Amino acid sequence: MRALFEVQLPRGGPRLGGRGLARGFSLIELLVAGVVGAMVAGATMLALSQMLRARDTSAARQQAHARAEACVASVALDAMNLVRDRDLAMTKFAIINGGVTGAEQDDLLMLIHSLRPLRGLYGVPEGDEYEVQFRLIPSASGRGAMWRRVDPAFDAVIDGGGIAVPLVEGIEGVSFEAYDGYEWFEDWDSDSDGLPHALRITVRARSDDRKGVAVARRLVAFDRVPVVTQAEKDLLEMQAAQAEAQDSSGQTQQPGSTGGGGILPGGGGGGRGGGPGGGGGPGGGRPGGGRPGGPGAGGGDGGGNPGGQPGGRPGGGTPGGRPGVGNPGGGGGTPGGGGGGGGGRG
Q: What is the pLDDT along the chain (346 residues), one digit of tens a residue?
A: 455 445 555 555 555 555 555 677 788 889 999 999 999 999 999 999 999 999 999 999 999 999 999 999 999 999 999 998 888 888 999 999 987 776 788 999 999 998 888 776 666 667 789 999 999 998 777 678 999 999 988 888 888 888 899 999 999 999 999 999 899 999 999 999 999 999 999 999 999 888 899 999 999 999 876 666 788 888 989 999 999 888 887 655 444 444 444 444 444 444 444 344 444 444 444 444 444 444 444 444 444 344 344 444 444 444 444 444 444 444 443 443 443 444 434 3
Three-state secondary structure call for residue 147: strand
Which segments of 107-251 does DSSP mark as H helices, in order? 190-193, 230-248
Is 23 contained in some domain? no
Is 112 contained in some domain? yes
End-to-end CA distance of the chain: 171
Model pTM above 0.85: no
**CB neighbours of 117 closer than 8 A, spacing ≥ 6?**
126
Is 321 contained in some domain? no
Residue 115 has a pLDDT of 83
Spatial distance between the Cα atoms of 293 and 270, rounded to a whole number of angstroms: 7
Q: How many residues does the chain have?
A: 346
Residue 27 has a pLDDT of 86
Task: Work out how many domains the chain is built from and give that number.
Answer: 1
Is 234 contained in some domain? no
Is 267 contained in some domain? no
Whether residue 83 contacts residue 111, with contact meaning beta carbons closer than 8 Å, is answered with yes
Q: Which helix (H) or strand (E) holds 35?
A: helix 27-80
Instruction: Provide the residue range defining the domain that includes 152.
Output: 66-221
CA nearest to 298, candidates 337, 266, 268: 337
Cα–Cα distances (Å) from 195 to 15, 31, 89, 179, 206, in that order, read 104, 80, 11, 9, 33
Q: Which residues of 292-317 are buried (b: 16+ CB within 10 A; e: fewer)?
A: bbebbbbbeebeeeeebbebbeebeb
Is 268 contained in some domain? no
Three-state secondary structure call for residue 338: coil
Is 251 contained in some domain? no
Spatial distance between the Cα atoms of 315 and 106, rounded to a whole number of angstroms: 92
Is 211 contained in some domain? yes
